[in-house]
């Protein structure tokens, strides 16, 4: 009995031998998974690096496009014309043909692998020639916009196409394009002198030899379109402004003279001009893009000239008292006094407290357009919380909007003419940046 039990125990099968293959299999499986994950991780790292290179090169192409847009603005300012024919001809190069094809442009390399340019550009003049940056090269080219045909040399819609090209690390290549548009930054001017708000003050002066004209660039009308000499909002405002026409024969608008050249333009003026917040936003835009942002002490030498018009924003009172021939946009947020010996071609904005005075004798003309408006609120400081808030200084009430009391006062003598001229307005409008639209990656 005892012996049988022992034989029974000794004959029991062992499980230790069968677990070994299972352990080996599991170890092999885990090792394989680890190796697989290692390869996957390495692939992800490489893919991430490739993605970073592509993004970096894309951003460089965008930078090239933006740089080209700025150069195009400089070309347009130099041309002095709102049309873009001259810019297209300049880009076409010596052969007078637009050769650049953004669809086919590719990097060109020398034997050492250095970028030397781009294919399918012909002899076109780039906006930005091939330029090196830290991690590669970029350039920008221009054609007419696709709607008119890229190779068309005549511009009719004030639109062009700008393409940015960039070559980055390990020969990554990106190109982006935008149709850019030259926009009029201002709505049409409703008069030579536009005084916005209620209870305007207008004083046209006592000189018999001056001229205030709404005839375009002082040409007979027709054919040149004429505008009122003074434009105000509402019949009551017109009645107030009429009292400042002291020498009727010096006011001319086509066949009309005297008080007939002072009009209520409420029904004809572009509605934006009568919007206080539009004027405030316009002030901010002009300040942001100004060549000069100054104050009461800004020297006359910093202002624009007919040879070099500028955008100047004076956040203060200003007295132009020398013998200065200025040009461009001059925006003054407080009282602007201009002696009669000075001249200005372009646009004058006495917008803030809305006070302009022409004083002293002299024969300096003002040619272009002018806007006067009180928008800076009771504290008389533009860009503060009470702007456009009306007499109570509290935004959101029924008295909000352009304030009362905008004033244009001619108190001096002399032959200083005041002339509406759209050519002088256009001359400063071309200084505006081109607005991009229809952006795409190629």
The model's pLDDT over 374-411, given as tens digits with 9 standing for 90+, comes to: 999 999 999 999 999 988 899 888 899 999 999 999 98
Q: Which residue has 């442009």 as its token pair? A: 105
For residue 262 the two structure tokens come to 């002072």
More confident site: 183 or 13:
183
Quick one: tokens of 229? Answer: 């000499």
Does the pLDDT value for residue 52 go beyond 70? no
User: Between β-strands 355-359 and 335-339, what pairing exists: parallel, antiparallel or unpaired?
Assistant: parallel
How far apart CA 347 and CA 185 sit, in angstroms, is: 12
pLDDT band at 440 (very low <50, low <70, confident <90, very high): confident
Range among 77-91, 310-324, 417-431 with highest mean pLDDT value: 310-324
Neighbours of 399 (CB within 10 A): 11
The token pair that represents 127 in the structure block = 């906006």
What contacts 389, CB < 8 A, 6 or more positions away? 377, 378, 395, 397, 399, 400
- Model pLDDT for residues 342-375, shown as the tens digit of each residue: 999 999 999 999 999 999 988 999 999 999 999 9
Mean pLDDT of the chain: 89
SS3 label, residue 284:
helix
pLDDT one-digit tens code per residue, 134-151: 778 999 999 999 999 999
Q: What is the pLDDT of residue 169?
A: 87
Report the alpha-carbon distance of residue 213 to residue 204 in Å, rounded. Answer: 12
pLDDT band, residue 183 (cuts 50/70/90)? confident
pTM of this structure: 0.78
The closest of 309, 204, 299 to 250, measured between CA atoms, is 204
Mean pLDDT of 188-198: 96
- In this prediction, residue 102 has a pLDDT band, given cuts at 50, 70 and 90, of very high
Using an 8 Å Cβ cutoff, are 229 and 249 in contact?
A: no
Domain range summary for the chain, segments of one domain joined by +: 56-182, 193-429
């Amino acid at each position: 009995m005892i012996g049988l039990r022992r034989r029974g125990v000794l004959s029991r099968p062992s499980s230790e031998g069968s677990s070994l293959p299972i352990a080996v299999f599991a170890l092999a499986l885990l090792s394989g998974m680890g190796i697989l994950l290692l390869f996957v991780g390495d692939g992800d790292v490489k893919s991430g690096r490739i993605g970073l290179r592509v993004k970096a090169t894309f951003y460089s192409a965008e930078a090239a496009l933006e740089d080209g847009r700025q150069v195009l603005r400089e070309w347009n300012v130099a041309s002095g014309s709102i049309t873009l024919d001259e810019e297209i001809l300049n880009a076409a190069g010596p052969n007078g043909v637009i050769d650049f094809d953004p669809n086919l442009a590719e990097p060109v390399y020398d034997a050492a692998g250095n970028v030397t340019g781009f294919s399918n550009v012909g002899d076109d003049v780039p906006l930005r020639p091939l330029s090196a940056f830290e991690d590669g090269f970029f350039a920008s080219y221009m054609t007419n916009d696709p709607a008119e045909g890229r190779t068309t040399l005549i511009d009719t819609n004030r639109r062009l196409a700008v393409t940015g090209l960039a070559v980055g690390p390990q020969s990554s290549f990106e190109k982006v394009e935008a149709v850019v548009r030259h926009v009029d930054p201002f709505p049409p001017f409703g008069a030579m002198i536009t005084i916005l708000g209620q209870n305007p003050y207008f004083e046209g002066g006592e000189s018999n030899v001056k001229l205030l004209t709404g005839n375009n660039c002082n040409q007979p009308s027709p054919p040149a379109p004429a505008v009122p000499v003074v434009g105000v909002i509402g019949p009551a405002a017109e009645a107030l402004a009429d009292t400042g026409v002291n020498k009727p024969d010096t006011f001319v608008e086509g066949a009309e003279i005297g008080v007939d050249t002072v009009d209520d333009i409420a029904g004809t003026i572009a509605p934006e001009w009568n919007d206080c917040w539009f004027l405030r936003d316009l002030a901010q835009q002009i300040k942001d893009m100004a060549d000069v942002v100054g104050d009461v002490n800004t020297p006359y030498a910093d202002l624009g000239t007919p040879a070099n018009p500028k955008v100047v924003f004076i956040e203060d009172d200003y007295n132009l008292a020398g013998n200065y021939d200025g040009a461009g946009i001059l925006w003054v947020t407080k009282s602007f006094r201009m002696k009669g010996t000075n001249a200005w071609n372009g646009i004058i904005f006495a917008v803030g407290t809305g006070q302009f005075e022409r004083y002293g004798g002299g024969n300096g003309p003002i040619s272009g357009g002018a806007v006067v408006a009180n928008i800076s609120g009771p504290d008389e400081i533009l860009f503060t919380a009470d702007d456009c808030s009306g007499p109570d200084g509290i935004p959101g009430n029924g008295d909000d909007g352009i304030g009362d009391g905008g004033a244009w006062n001619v108190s001096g003598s002399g032959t200083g003419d005041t002339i509406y001229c759209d050519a002088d307005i256009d001359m400063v409008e071309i200084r505006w940046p081109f607005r991009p639209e229809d952006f795409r990656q190629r």
